Chain A
C-alpha cells in the first residue's frame, strides 16, 4: 500500500481557514501567520429573514448548507491558496443558533479531518473581541472591551488572549436586540440597527427623551428591555404617527442606548484603570456610537479601537484569526465535534 506523506504542519507557516455560521451570515476567510488576512467573503441572509422581522433558525441552517462550500471555494481562489496549503480549520462552535452552528462545525471539522490538519472550535464572542487585532494599529493588552451585538452586550476586561473577566452585561435584551425590536414596532424593518440609524438622521433631538436604564445605580450591568417598552408606549400614545414622529422617536431611542453604553463604558474604565477601549460586535458599526466613543476617548485621554464596520458584524476573518491564535497556543478539537449554543466566554480562561 502506498503511503501518502503529508506536509509537516509544525514547520509550515500557519494558514487558517475560518468559517462562521452562528446566525444569519455565512462567512469564510483565510488568515496567514505572516501575511495576515488573505481573503474574506460573506453571504448575508438578511433578505431571506427580512419578511419575518427576525432570523428564522431553520431557514438560516438550510441556507448555510447551500452557501458554505461555494464560499470556501471562492475564498481559496481569492487568497490564491491551494487546499494543501491550509494548515488548520477554524469554525464558530458557539454561542449561536444550534442548527446554524452545526453546519459550520460539521463542514469545518470534516474538511480538517480529510485534509489531515487540526481543527478548532472558536467562541464567536472571542472572535468579535479579537477582531480589532486584524486592524493596523491593533490594540495592545490589557484593554476594556465593549461587546455589543444582537445577542450580547458585555463589558469585558481583557488581560491577555484567553484571560477574560466579565465586568457587566445586559440582564435582559442585548443592545442589538433592542434595536431590532424597536425597529419592528416602529415599522422600520430588519435588521433594526441600520434602519434606526438611517431614520434617526431625520429626527429632531429633544422632542422625546427616554431613560438611561440602570445608570443611576452602581455597577456595570445594563438593561434594554424597559427602554423598548418605553418606546412602544410612547409610539402608541401618538395621535399622529407620521414620518417625523417616527424619526424623532428613533433618534431619542438611539441617543438613550448610546448614552447608556457610554456611561457604563466610562464607569468600567474608571473602575479598572484601563487606558484602552475596544469596541466590537454589530452595534459597533453604528457610526454615531463610534463618533461619541472617540469624543469620550479624547476627553479621558485614552485610546479607542474598533474594527472596520464589516468586521464589527459577523464575519469569517475574526474566526480565522481567533482560530489561528488558539491553534498556535496548542488547542485543537477531537474528531467528535460539537457546538455550544450557550457558552460563557469566561470558561475560556
Chain B
C-alpha cells in the first residue's frame, strides 16, 4: 500500500508518504505558504522512495475544518493527484487528525480539539480512542462561540489541543472546568496523523473518486 497524505488546513503545511508500513514526512510551520510548499514536499518524499505519482494506491487529505483557503488547497491537490494517478481518495477530518496526532505523540486517549475559527468562535470536536486505535468523534463537529462549546459526556481526564485553546483560553477553560485538566495549544497538525484513518478507510473500501471529495468547512454562514 502506497499512500500520499496532505494536510494544509492550519498554519502548518505537511505531507507524508506511507509505503508498506513505513512513513516518511515533511512539515513546516508556514502561514500562507502552503501552495508553494506542498508539491515540492510530495516530490521529495516520492523521489526518496523512488516512486512516481502513478505508482500510488491512494491519496488522503485533511478536509477541514480550518482555513477555507487551506482546506481547498489540500482538497484540490489531492483531487489533481488522485485523478491523474487514477486512485481513490480518503478524506479525513482535520480535527480528528490533530486528536490522533496527540494520541500518537503523547498517549492521550480523550481529547477536546479546538481550532481558532476567528470571529470569536472555534471549530470544535470531542474525540475518544476506539478499540482500533483511532480517535473517534463523540457527538458532532461544530463551529461555535468558545463559551458555548458542547461538553463531553463525562467529567475529568480530558485534554485540550489546538489553536483555539490559545486564542480563547479563558472562555474554554471556564467552559470545560472539571472536564479538561490541561491543554496544549502549541502542537501542530501533521499529515502523518491522517494515515491511520486513511488505511482503515481503504481497508473498508470507504474511499471516494477524486471528483466527489470536497472540503468540510462547517462554517457556512459566509456572507
Contact = CB atoms under 8 A, between A and B. Distances in A.
Interface of A: 1, 4, 52, 56, 58-59, 61-62, 65-66, 68-70, 72-73, 83, 98-99, 102-103, 105-111, 113-116, 335-339
A116 B78 CA distance: 16
Contact of A114 (B50, B80, B214): B80
Q: Which of A1, A58, A106 has the most CB of B within 10 A?
A: A106
A61 B72 contact: yes
B223 interface: yes
B211 A338 contact: no
Interface of B: 35-37, 39-40, 42-43, 50, 52-55, 68-69, 72-73, 75-81, 83-86, 210-211, 214-215, 217, 222-223
Contacts of B86: 83
A108 B69 CA distance: 16
Nearest to A336: B36
Q: Tell which of B37, B83, B86 has the most Cβ of chain A within 10 Å.
A: B83
Contacts of A72: 83
A65 B39 contact: no
The main secondary structure of chain A at its interface with chain B is: helix
28 contacts: A4-B54, A4-B55, A58-B223, A59-B223, A61-B69, A62-B215, A62-B217, A65-B76, A65-B79, A66-B214, A69-B83, A73-B83, A73-B211, A99-B68, A99-B72, A102-B72, A106-B80, A110-B76, A110-B78, A110-B79, A110-B84, A113-B53, A113-B80, A114-B83, A114-B84, A115-B53, A115-B84, A337-B36
B76 A102 contact: yes
- Which of B43, B72, B75, B80 has its CB near the most chain A CB atoms (within 10 A)? B80
Determine the main DSSP class of B at the interface with A.
helix
Nearest to B209: A69
Contacts of A106: 35, 72-73, 76-77, 80
A115 B82 CA distance: 11
Contacts of B54: 4, 114, 116
A319 to B, nearest CB: 16
Nearest to A67: B211
Contacts of A73: 83, 211
A58 B73 contact: no
Nearest to B84: A114
Nearest to A56: B223
Contacts of A335: 39-40, 43
Nearest to A51: B223
Contacts of A4: 52, 54-55
A105 B39 contact: no
Nearest to B4: A114
Nearest to B39: A335
A73 B211 CA distance: 9
B69 to A, nearest CB: 6
Given A107-B80, A113-B42, A65 B52 contact: no
